[in-house]
């Protein structure tokens, strides 16, 4: 009976409301006379269909609809390419980078220009860029949290020598290469110092997240080689980002004196984060050390620190990504606290927003600009210089500090991994006007090829230095022979 009463009540309320709404509409129609100057004509069926199709067309071209379609397309394409590349032993991130290039003018834009024009109109690119920048900010926050500073302290001697050699050698070679490229490939209003410094940093970066995942996938996490490589990459990341911040300050400031003021402000900000913000966050971390979840107020506070840090470094003039990275570094050191935070941020950053950055980078990469043998020759020179500097510098430094030839070569191969971090640096250079579209395309290809080399290089090194089976004595062989 109670069930029927509810149904009767529902029908009565709905029915009465519909009748009242119909009556209100009919009563309001005479009021239209004072609002229209001309008589409203009736619309036939054909006109109604045309108006409906026009509405659908308008909705399809609406900025929000375009953005949602872009996100759907990018995520599906990125996950597909990531899956395919993982099946051939390559990091998933490389497949996602290739997916971005596939969607850009180099491939889809050349094969299906109408589709690309519809899906990625120029007016929509700023929206895509802003979303990708948010993804990068979250990603760099995670990278900062994944750095284990305790490991850096315990392995500091070897790591500092190897990591700094893996920066200074390719940096020097990159600046030397810039000397030969400047006249032909540098933008018109960029001085040689800015161009050469950016070429140097682009040659010397290492993709710490990609390297960490390669080591994890190969089961090298608890090995001596894996620990040294992770530590070197972490030290490399910290050093390279500090150098990049200084380079950005110099490029934006336009003069050495202005750059010094910017760097001074940046150093002051780093001190504030370490001496004031970090102790406050440590107290917050201790309160949640034994908890499996974080309260909404705690999460809000942490994201507030992240956004304020990113905003501050952007205003100072050393890019918001450096602030996001620093915010991750000063997060509480409790493992459970960082683990919860990383899980909250990583899925959104890596699964949803970061592929947008790959696609945006791909839309900027115009491989078609390399349209002659001379351009491809310069591209090959860039790749060879990058490999010689990063691989060679890391390998020689590792051998100098006492590593075996196998481990030294493996460290060189791992440190030569550039991946996502290289794309971040290149996009910063492109946004600042330091890199032309042609040089940007060459450097993206360099980042892809050097990262693709990592897996095969490690396999080749393991094959060359494989453990040979012990020789069986001749007498034993004779004794083991089966009778015919």
Q: What does the DSSP assignment read for 459-477?
A: HHHHHHTPPPPPPPPHHHH
Answer yes or no: is pLDDT of 92 > 90: no
Token readout for 85 is: 């590349």
Q: pLDDT-derived band of residue 284, with 50, 70 and 90 as boundaries?
A: confident
Please report the DSSP string for 152-191 in residue order.
HHHTHHHHHHHHHHHHHHHHHHHHHHHHHHHHHHS-TT--
Say if 158 falls within a structural domain: yes
Say if 75 falls within a structural domain: no
Say if 434 falls within a structural domain: yes
Q: pLDDT-derived band of residue 472, with 50, 70 and 90 as boundaries?
A: very low
CA distance linking residue 385 with residue 170, whole number of Å? 8
Residue 34, CA atoms < 13 Å, CB-side half-sphere: 3
Overall number of domains in the chain:
1
Note the pLDDT tens digit of each residue in 46-85: 666 777 677 777 777 778 888 888 889 999 998 899 889 8
Answer yes or no: is pLDDT of 105 > 90: no
Say if 265 falls within a structural domain: yes
Answer yes or no: is pLDDT of 182 > 80: yes
Say if 39 falls within a structural domain: no
Say if 272 falls within a structural domain: yes
- Among left, alpha and beta (phi > 0; psi -120 to 50; other), residue 254 is left
Q: Are 415 and 215 in contact (CB under 8 A)?
A: no
pTM of the model: 0.76
CA distance linking residue 345 with residue 297, whole number of Å? 16
Token readout for 230 is: 């992770």
Q: Which domain holds residue 298?
A: 86-464
Answer yes or no: is pLDDT of 483 > 50: no
CA distance linking residue 349 with residue 345, whole number of Å? 6
CATH number, position 159? 1.20.1530.20
Say if 442 falls within a structural domain: yes
Rounded to an integer, the average pLDDT of 299-305 is 88
Give phi and psi for 318, each to the nearest 5. Answer: -120, 20
Say if 37 falls within a structural domain: no
What pLDDT, on a 0 to 100 scale, did the predictor assign at position 471?
A: 44
Note the pLDDT tens digit of each residue in 426-446: 988 898 889 999 999 999 999
Residue 20, CA atoms < 13 Å, CB-side half-sphere: 6
Token readout for 441 is: 């395309």
Answer yes or no: is pLDDT of 39 > 80: no
What pLDDT, on a 0 to 100 scale, did the predictor assign at position 149?
A: 61
Note the pLDDT tens digit of each residue in 338-355: 777 787 787 787 778 888
For the chain, give the mean pLDDT. Answer: 81
């Amino acid at each position: 009976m109670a069930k029927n009463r509810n149904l009767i009540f529902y029908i009565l309320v709905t029915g009465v409301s519909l009748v009242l709404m119909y009556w209100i509409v009919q009563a309001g129609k005479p009021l239209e006379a004072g609002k229209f100057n001309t008589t409203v004509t009736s619309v036939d069926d054909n006109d109604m269909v045309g108006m409906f199709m026009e509405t659908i067309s308008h909705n399809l071209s609406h900025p929000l609809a375009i953005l949602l379609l872009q996100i759907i397309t990018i995520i599906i394409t990125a996950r597909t390419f990531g899956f395919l590349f993982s099946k051939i032993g390559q990091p998933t991130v490389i497949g996602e980078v290739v997916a971005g290039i596939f969607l850009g003018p180099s491939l889809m834009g050349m094969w299906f220009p109408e589709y690309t024009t519809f899906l990625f109109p120029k007016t929509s690119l700023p929206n895509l860029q802003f979303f990708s920048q948010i993804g990068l900010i979250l990603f760099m926050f995670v990278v900062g949290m994944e750095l284990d500073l305790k490991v850096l302290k315990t392995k500091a001697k070897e790591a500092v020598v190897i990591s700094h050699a893996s920066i200074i050698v390719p940096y020097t070679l990159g600046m030397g290469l810039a000397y030969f490229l400047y006249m032909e490939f540098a933008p018109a209003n960029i001085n040689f110092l800015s161009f050469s410094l950016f070429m140097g940093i682009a040659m010397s970066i290492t993709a710490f997240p990609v390297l960490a995942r390669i080591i994890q996938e190969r089961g090298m996490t608890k090995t001596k080689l894996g620990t040294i490589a992770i530590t070197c990459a972490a030290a490399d990341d910290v050093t390279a980002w500090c150098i990049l911040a200084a380079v950005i300050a110099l490029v934006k400031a336009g003069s050495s004196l202005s750059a010094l003021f910017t760097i001074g402000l940046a150093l002051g900000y780093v001190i504030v984060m370490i001496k004031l913000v970090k102790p406050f966050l440590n107290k917050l971390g201790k309160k949640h050390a034994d908890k499996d979840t974080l309260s909404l107020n705690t999460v809000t506070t942490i994201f507030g620190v992240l956004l304020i840090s990113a905003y501050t470094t952007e205003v100072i003039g050393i890019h918001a990504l450096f602030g996001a990275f620093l915010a991750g570094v000063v997060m509480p050191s409790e493992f459970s606290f960082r683990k919860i935070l990383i899980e909250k941020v990583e899925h959104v950053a890596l699964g949803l927003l970061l592929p947008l950055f790959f696609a945006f980078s791909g839309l900027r990469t115009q491989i078609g600009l390399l349209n002659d043998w001379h351009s491809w020759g310069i591209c090959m020179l860039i790749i060879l210089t990058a490999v010689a500097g990063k691989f060679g510098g890391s390998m020689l430094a590792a051998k100098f500090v006492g590593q075996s030839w196998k481990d030294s070569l493996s460290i060189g191969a791992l440190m030569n991994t550039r991946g996502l971090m290289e794309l971040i640096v290149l996009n910063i250079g492109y946004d600042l006007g330091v890199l032309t579209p042609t040089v940007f395309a060459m450097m993206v290809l360099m980042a892809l090829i050097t990262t693709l080399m990592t897996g095969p290089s490690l396999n080749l090194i393991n094959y060359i230095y494989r453990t040979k089976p012990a020789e069986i004595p001749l007498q034993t062989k004779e004794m083991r022979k089966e009778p015919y």
